[in-house]
Amino acid sequence: MGGDAVSGAVAAALVGGGFMGQVHAHALRAAGIPIVGVASSSPQSAARAAERLGIARAYADVDELLADEAVTLVHVLTPNATHAALAAAALDAGRHVVCEKPLATTSADASALASRASGTGLIAAVPFVYRFHPMVRAARERIARGETGRLLSVQGAYLQDWLLAADDDNWRVDAGQGGASRAFADIGSHLCDLLEFIAGERITRLVARTRTVHAERGGHAVETEDLVGMLAELQGGALVSLLVSQVAPGRKNGLVLELHGEGESLRFEQERPEELWIGRRRESLLQLRNPDELQGDAARLSTLPAGHPLGYQDAFTAFVADTTRSITEGAPVAGLPVFADGVRAARLTEAVLESAALGAWVDVPAEEESR
């Protein structure tokens, strides 16, 4: 089954057809990857998703999808609690996998899934797509070249308002479907992945506070957090301050990261992805994305000329393109977020919840490098 998955042409199928199904479908098509079909929670749901997304085939269930020899790559886009089992089934069927984060709702399950993928020859990726903004790569490369100097501190936030009101509800609010963490697992994981990716350093210890603003939504009790405040330390000693919230009025997708080194500061704002602010004691500057002036992956990912803005969907397309390239080349290309990065996010999430429960600093367990 899936005999061409490792070395043949890439063709994808989706499991789940909600908002992320639309994003993934668009990215796959923009990257030139055919979409064979879609499965969902029921045959009826799959049929609706296929019609909405313009996909020819709606599978009755995941088993039917995995029995289709035409499928070499499976995108898992379902509620969080189902991720690990679906990704494992796809791997066992010999398919490459893209699994939305969180990879699993516990670090033990995420680690087991990463171990399952290891040594299969299959590509198993997690869409931490903010890595694929060219100016993120530019910031990462400045730090790697030593231009920023030793990092002293980091300040960051990921702010949204889509769950601001008490009557705002979503399956993610339900711990049974979304897991024990909501705001941090959903968007804080992106912020920490971006921080560690740009800095080239791990968070070693942290202290966190969580808050649930509305005790009830949609007639049921809320057990997951609406916001998280966190202090942390990096391997090199830099101090980190982060705020994550899904109840910040007016903020739609406000991911901001600012890193302060001995030589310069760097600031990236996801809602202004064409810019990188470079702060200096004298003559700070705003670098605008221009492939003629960028180097390395920053230039490679600048797929349009200067003045032609690239955004969120373009970053997603770049992630899919690098996933496909990894499948073709037989190994993850540099910078591709893989299942080990999903394990990392799960361990950080559990450290945040543990710290909040204890009211104390906790160490973050180390794991294999994957960035």
Query: What is the DSSP-derived secondary structure letter of residue 124?
Result: E
pLDDT for 370: 55
pTM for the structure as a whole:
0.95
Local mean pLDDT, 10-residue blocks, the chain (371 residues)? 55 94 97 97 97 97 98 98 98 98 97 96 98 98 98 98 96 95 98 98 98 94 97 98 98 98 98 98 97 97 98 98 97 97 98 98 79 58
- 260 SS3 class: strand
Q: Please spell the DSSP secondary structure of 187-199, one letter per residue.
A: IIHHHHHHHHHHH
Contact 141, 131 (CB under 8 A): no
- 276 SS3 class: strand
Angle at 164 between CA 158 and CA 167, to 5 degrees: 145
List C-alpha distances in Å: 122 to 95, 103, 263. 7, 16, 41
Give counts: helices (H), strands (E), the chain: 12, 17
pLDDT for 6: 40
